[in-house]
Structures are given as structure tokens and as C-alpha cells.
């Protein structure tokens, strides 16, 4: 009987995850410790080191899945895949791997020909933008964004952009709670889950080594955002929240954050749309230069 002993993701696990995530170039938003830690309670995220691989397991919609195992050396990939499949058999659950990039799908097809089926997970694709596009908003296609920003600046001429520092965390927490109240988070488990993830990020902001920014109007935090470096040329934005009654506040914090924090990056990953129509429309309106594709892998 093969047993893999997964354990919950805890704050003190960060150095272990960082070591694995820094060994290769990863483009998916979930390939950071902060992302996995923030959403740990929502997805019951657990991990284990096995055969020199970092294996991560979660639960979504009552279905258990694993992420592609992380390692520098893929020589033992077949061994770890066999162990993961055995784990699912022992738990009497169907094998499922989510967040699988195309290159990893090809590896699986090589070591296990005709065993798996690969289904495109369009709702999970990450939107990846040119950093210079988000900073400059140049050209006709961004005219609406520029207009929103100009109107905001005209209506709130004394607004301030500030880096997100420890003295502003409480203001961001208050903004999150107000956002949640307007959205009736208590009536929507997914929004309540998002609220918990955002608060977890804010409460552990310094330890997670995140970078962020806030918009302050009349002394109050009306919007905030935060993210981190994903790889050598890409930043990932994990959270962006604001008072949506103040038109233009989302375009302006997006531009200001990119301008102040990510001017040396080539790309900015703004994560997935989860199949939410309004969110998809908003993300497409910034014209991504590419998508970080992900697949769901199951047994045939």
C-alpha cells in the first residue's frame, strides 16, 4: 500500500516552495507560494515532498486534484506520476491534474502514451499582458481606459497613489470588507472565499514579500492591489480591489501599480477569469498579448 502523506500549506513552508518555484520558469499564476497560501482555506491545499518533487493537492467543487509536480530534474517523473495515481486509487477517487501547461502535457504523453486525456481549461487560462501596454495605454484601443482615468483625475484631483506599506494594511482590510458588503459575499460562497484569500494576503503581506499600491481619496484607501515577481520577466497581480462606485478607480490603480512597480518587467500576468462573463470582458478589454494555457488531465 502506497501512502503519500500530504499536509496543509502553512506560512512557514514558504522557503520550501520558493526553492522549487525559482528552479524553473513558471508562467501560471498558481506557481507562487503567496497564491497557494492565500487560497489554502478555500481549496484545502496540501503538499508533500516525494521523490524530489513538490506535489500540491487541492479540492475544487468537491473534486480532488493535484497540480503538475514541481522539480528541476524530471528523470523520476514517471515514478512520481505512478505514486500520485496510486494515491488517488487508494482514496477511491478519479485521478485529476489541473493547471497543466502544454509543455507538461507533452511530457506526460511521452512517459505515459495513450493513458491520459487532455482537456483545455479555458476558464483557467491566465491573461498575460505587455507591461509597457498597461503602463502607457497608448493607441486607439486604450482610448476608453485613458478617458476613464482622465475623468477620475478630474473628479478627484487630490487623489494619491502610494506604495502599500504596513501602515496602510488596515485601510485595505476595511476596503475589502466594504467591497464584500456591497457584493453580498455572505450570500455567495465563492466571493466569501475570495474575501478570505485577500485578507490572508494582507495579514501576511510582509512575510509573503508582496508588492502593492493603494489609491487614497480624502484620506481613505479607496482601492488597493498587490502582486509579486513570477519569473525573471513577468510579474503576477494577485489582487485588485476598489470602490467601484468611483468610476475609473480600477483603470487608474492598474496603471499606477504597473508604472511604479513593474516598469522593468516585460509581461504582467493578471490571472484567470474563472468563466465569469464580466471578468472575462474586463480582462479582454486590456488586450492580452498571450494566454498562459492550462489543461485538465484525467485517465482515459
Q: Can you tell me the mean pLDDT for 106-115?
A: 96
Distance CA 233, CA 290 (A): 14
Distance CA 220, CA 234 (A): 31
pLDDT digits over 135-146, tens only? 999 999 999 999
- Between CA 161 and CA 172, with CA 167 as vertex, the angle to 5 degrees is 65
What pLDDT, on the 0 to 100 scale, is given for residue 147?
A: 97
Distance CA 283, CA 127 (A): 7
pLDDT digits over 264-295, tens only? 999 999 999 999 999 999 999 999 999 999 99
What pLDDT, on the 0 to 100 scale, is given for residue 186?
A: 87
pLDDT digits over 56-91, tens only? 999 999 999 999 999 988 999 999 999 999 999 999
Domains of the chain by start residue, with CATH: 7-125 (3.40.630.30), 126-271 (3.40.630.30)
Strands (E), 152-210: 160-163
What pLDDT, on the 0 to 100 scale, is given for residue 2?
A: 62
Q: Can you tell me the mean pLDDT for 177-188?
A: 93
List all residues 6 or more positions away from 231 whose beta carbon is below 8 Å from its beta carbon: 25, 26, 27
What pLDDT, on the 0 to 100 scale, is given for residue 1?
A: 59
Cβ(289)–Cβ(127) below 8 Å: no
Distance CA 276, CA 102 (A): 23
What pLDDT, on the 0 to 100 scale, is given for residue 3?
A: 75
Distance CA 91, CA 85 (A): 10
Rounded mean pLDDT of the chain?
A: 96
What pLDDT, on the 0 to 100 scale, is given for residue 66?
A: 98
Q: How far apart are the first and last CA of the chain?
A: 24
Number of C-beta neighbours around residue 150 at 10 A: 13
Burial 285-300 (b: 16+ CB within 10 A, else e): ebebeeebbbbbbeee
Residue 130: which of 147, 121, 142 has the closest Cα?
142
Cα 136 to chain centroid, rounded:
24
Task: Please report which helix (H) or strand (E) contains residue 240, including its range.
Answer: strand 234-242
- Between CA 174 and CA 179, with CA 175 as vertex, the angle to 5 degrees is 120
Distance CA 35, CA 210 (A): 11
Residue 123: which of 294, 299, 300, 252 has the closest Cα?
294
Cβ(100)–Cβ(75) below 8 Å: no
What pLDDT, on the 0 to 100 scale, is given for residue 71?
A: 94
pLDDT digits over 225-264, tens only? 999 999 999 999 999 999 989 999 999 999 999 999 999 9
Distance CA 288, CA 282 (A): 11
Percent of the chain with pLDDT over 90: 96
User: Residue 187, class by beta-carbon neighbours within 10 Å (0-12 exposed, 13-18 middle, 19+ buried)?
Assistant: exposed
Amino acid at each position: 500500500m502506497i501512502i503519500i502523506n500530504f499536509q496543509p500549506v502553512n506560512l512557514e513552508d514558504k522557503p520550501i516552495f520558493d526553492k522549487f518555484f525559482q528552479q524553473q520558469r513558471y508562467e501560471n499564476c498558481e506557481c507562487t507560494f503567496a497564491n497557494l497560501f492565500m487560497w489554502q482555506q478555500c481549496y484545502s491545499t496540501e503538499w508533500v515532498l516525494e521523490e524530489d518533487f513538490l506535489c500540491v493537492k487541492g479540492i475544487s467543487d468537491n473534486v480532488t486534484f493535484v497540480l503538475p509536480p514541481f522539480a528541476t530534474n524530471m528523470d523520476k517523473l514517471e515514478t512520481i506520476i505512478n505514486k500520485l495515481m496510486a494515491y488517488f486509487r487508494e482514496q477511491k477517487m478519479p485521478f485529476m491534474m489541473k493547471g497543466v501547461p502544454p509543455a507538461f502535457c507533452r511530457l506526460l504523453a511521452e512517459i505515459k502514451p495513450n493513458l491520459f486525456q487532455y482537456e483545455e481549461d479555458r476558464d483557467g487560462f491566465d491573461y498575460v499582458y505587455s507591461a509597457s501596454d498597461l503602463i502607457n495605454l497608448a493607441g486607439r484601443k486604450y482610448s476608453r481606459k485613458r478617458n476613464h482615468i482622465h475623468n477620475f483625475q478630474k473628479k478627484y484631483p487630490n487623489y494619491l497613489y502610494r506604495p502599500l506599506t504596513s501602515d496602510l494594511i488596515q485601510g485595505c482590510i476595511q476596503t475589502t470588507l466594504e467591497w464584500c458588503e456591497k457584493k453580498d459575499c455572505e450570500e455567495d460562497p465563492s466571493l466569501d472565499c475570495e474575501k478570505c484569500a485577500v485578507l490572508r494576503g494582507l495579514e501576511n503581506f510582509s512575510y509573503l514579500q508582496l508588492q502593492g499600491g493603494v489609491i487614497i481619496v480624502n484620506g481613505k484607501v479607496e482601492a488597493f492591489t498587490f502582486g509579486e515577481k513570477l519569473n525573471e520577466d513577468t510579474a503576477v497581480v494577485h489582487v485588485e480591489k476598489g470602490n467601484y462606485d468611483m468610476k475609473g478607480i480600477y483603470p487608474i490603480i492598474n496603471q499606477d501599480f504597473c508604472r511604479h512597480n513593474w516598469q522593468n518587467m516585460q509581461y504582467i500576468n493578471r490571472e484567470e477569469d474563472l468563466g465569469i462573463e464580466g471578468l472575462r470582458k474586463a480582462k479582454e478589454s486590456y488586450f492580452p498579448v498571450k494566454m498562459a494555457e492550462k489543461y485538465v488531465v484525467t485517465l482515459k
